[in-house]
Amino acid sequence: MLVPLILSGGSGTRLWPLSRRLHPKQLLPLTGAATMLQQTVKRVAGLPDLSAPLVVCNVDHAALVEAQLQEIGTPPQAIVLEPVGRNTAPAVALAALGVLHTAGPGDDPLLLVLPADHVVLDVPAFQAAVVEGRAHAEAGKLVTFGIVPLSPHTGYGYIRAATPGQTSAVQQFVEKPDRATAEGYLAAGGHYWNSGMFLLSARTYLEELRVHRPQMVQACERALARAQGEGVLVRVDAEAFAACPSDSIDYAVMEKTSRAMVVPMDVGWNDVGSWAAVHEVSSQDADANSTVGDVVAIDCEGSHLHARSRLIAAVGVHDMVVVETEDAVLVAPRARSQDVKRVVERLEAQSRLEAVGHRTQTMPWGSMRRVEASAPATVWSLTIATGRHTPREVHAAWRRRLVVVAGKGLLRLTEGYDVRTLEPGVSEVIEAGTGYLLAADDGGALELLAVDLPA
């Protein structure tokens, strides 16, 4: 059985203001109508002996991931929720332990490990490479896919193959090189960009991880043993998983194992790590402009113009990136698009909400929209979906006034087990430091305004 394991844990700070901590790039439609997560899932359709996908993601993204998979008619076998990020090696370990727990005696499912935020233009070539690697994975090898390099790129790690031009043992994993070294790799041949995609059996991976990082396997076992399930959602234990060492699958296993194989892959791959990369993989007009949304471009050239909620009118703009959202606008030279992460760092240092999420955020229990943020108050519109409830929350730094606009439900103050009925016109104040949750009746959604003021 081939299990598509989709790793959806990144934050994509270089693609701000579209990509934010609560709505990262893999959950956005950056290169077409489908989101990058949806494109990744669709990419494996038609492979033989394929199971439903398994997704590992941040707990804050659960609702978006589940909704996007339902939207394309591909329900997952499970969505494993990480309370904190611990890089790719523990994420794959959680998945391997999970599939072996449900597998039959003696079964050893293959995990096709795919980051959720990559572009692959040639899907048939991608699937052919997976088929090529499968026999090696079934024979106990840990297969990685090396991208045939198009340029001496210094932003990627490289894989040196023992035999250039064909599937072979990995001779060495190489860190991101300087320009001269990268040029030497291209001239020598047999060096591939490290794609971060893998094909390996669950048992083989865990065997190697137990040899090289046993404490990682132990922490993941404890986290899964204490996990809580809700439908397809698997919430691993926060305390146990937080104690897990953080490391990539490359460092933890692939660079140490003697079982590594590399399959060369020429598939139109791009990790879409910046707005310049988005421009590169997007459709362009005769003047090399890529545009999304309501855009009027006059005498522009080589620019990416991306409108989400308003008209962008650009005149005489060359080699620029302009990205507009409801609450922020980015303007930068395309050549400096990697520096967008510095904007996010500054916003985070200033505790700006624009670094965290968009004005409207989809949540597991409904949605929340930031109506106003004028010091000292922040006003939110909350919608609790029918029959759903928020998790327990405690706001230490502010007090919250709730005003019910529509629907009926309950406010439960968890410290005193105090339950209050909510209906239109009711107003309640939650003092700082008080734990609470909100629940909507089964008869309809509960709509409220929340006003937050410093304690």
Q: Is residue 441, in this structure, part of any structural domain at all?
A: yes
Q: Is residue 276, in this structure, part of any structural domain at all?
A: no
Residues 237 and 326 in one domain: no
Mean pLDDT, residues 170-185: 93
Strands 366-374 and 360-363 come out as antiparallel
| pLDDT cut 70: percent of the chain above it | 100
In this prediction, residue 406 carries a pLDDT of 97
State residue 186 phi and psi, 5-degree precision: -65, -40
Residue 413, pLDDT above cutoff 70: yes
CA distances from 156 to 122, 144, 160, 176, 179 (A): 20, 15, 13, 5, 11
In the chain, count H helices and then E strands: 11, 29
| Measured distance CA(81)–CA(182) in Å, rounded | 37
Specify whether the CB–CB gap between 438 and 449 falls below 8 A: no
Q: Report residue 50 as tokens.
A: 């394929």
Residue 109, pLDDT above cutoff 90: yes
Closest CA to 326 of 308, 312, 340, 338: 308
Which residues constitute the domain of residue 316? 283-340
Helix (H, G, I), strand (E, B) or coil at 267: coil
| Measured distance CA(146)–CA(150) in Å, rounded | 12
Closest CA to 149 of 188, 118, 123, 112: 188
Residues 288 and 405 in one domain: no
pLDDT for 340-366, tens place per residue? 999 999 999 998 989 998 988 878 789
| Measured distance CA(112)–CA(135) in Å, rounded | 13
pLDDT for 366-407, tens place per residue? 999 999 888 899 999 999 999 999 988 899 889 999 999 999
Q: Is residue 27, in this structure, part of any structural domain at all?
A: yes
- Burial (CB count <10 Å: 0-12, 13-18, 19+), residue 109: buried
Q: Is residue 308, in this structure, part of any structural domain at all?
A: yes
Into how many domains does the chain fold? Answer: 3
- C-alpha dihedral (84, 207, 136, 4), degrees to nearest 10: -30
Residues 244 and 204 in one domain: yes
Q: Considering 242, 270, 298, which residue would you say is the last residue of a domain?
A: 270
Q: What is the mean pLDDT of the chain?
A: 94
State residue 410 phi and psi, 5-degree precision: -135, 150
Mean pLDDT, residues 258-280: 95
Residues 20 and 53 in one domain: yes
DSSP type of residue 272: -
pLDDT for 23-58, tens place per residue? 999 999 988 889 999 999 999 999 999 999 999 999
Residue 121, pLDDT above cutoff 90: yes
State residue 176 phi and psi, 5-degree precision: -55, 125
User: Which residue has 């922490």 as its token pair?
Assistant: 219
Return the percent helix, strand and coil in the chain, to nearest 5: 30, 35, 35
| Measured distance CA(346)–CA(328) in Å, rounded | 14
Task: Tell me the CATH number at 385.
Answer: 2.60.120.10
Q: Is residue 375, in this structure, part of any structural domain at all?
A: yes
Per-residue b or e along 37-51, where b marks 16 or more CB atoms closer than 10 Å to that residue's CB = bbbbbebbeeeeeeb
Confidence of residue 276 (pLDDT cuts 50, 70, 90): very high
Q: Report residue 377 as tokens.
A: 């108050």
Confidence of residue 416 (pLDDT cuts 50, 70, 90): low
Q: Is residue 49, in this structure, part of any structural domain at all?
A: yes
Q: Considering 217, 246, 270, which residue would you say is the last residue of a domain?
A: 270
Task: Tell me the CATH number at 236.
Answer: 3.90.550.10
Q: Which residues, other chains included, contact 124 with Cβ-Cβ below 8 Å and sequence gap of 6+?
A: none
Residues 381 and 442 in one domain: yes
pLDDT for 184-239, tens place per residue? 999 999 999 999 999 999 999 999 999 999 999 999 999 999 999 988 999 999 99
In this prediction, residue 15 carries a pLDDT of 96
Confidence of residue 415 (pLDDT cuts 50, 70, 90): low
| Measured distance CA(103)–CA(96) in Å, rounded | 10
DSSP type of residue 20: B
| Measured distance CA(12)–CA(5) in Å, rounded | 20
Residues 333 and 389 in one domain: no
Residues 212 and 98 in one domain: yes
Residues 254 and 291 in one domain: no
User: In what helix (H) or strand (E) does residue 406 lie, and over which residues does it extend?
Assistant: strand 398-406
Specify whether the CB–CB gap between 79 and 30 falls below 8 A: no
Residues 371 and 324 in one domain: no
Q: Is residue 346, in this structure, part of any structural domain at all?
A: no
Residues 264 and 290 in one domain: no
Q: Report residue 65 as tokens.
A: 């991931």
- Burial (CB count <10 Å: 0-12, 13-18, 19+), residue 181: middle
| Measured distance CA(298)–CA(232) in Å, rounded | 49
Residues 73 and 203 in one domain: yes
DSSP type of residue 359: S
Residues 196 and 335 in one domain: no
Q: Is residue 39, in this structure, part of any structural domain at all?
A: yes
CA 378 to chain centre: 28
Specify whether the CB–CB gap between 454 and 376 falls below 8 A: yes
Residue 275, pLDDT above cutoff 90: yes
Q: Which residues, other chains included, contact 188 with Cβ-Cβ below 8 Å and sequence gap of 6+?
A: none
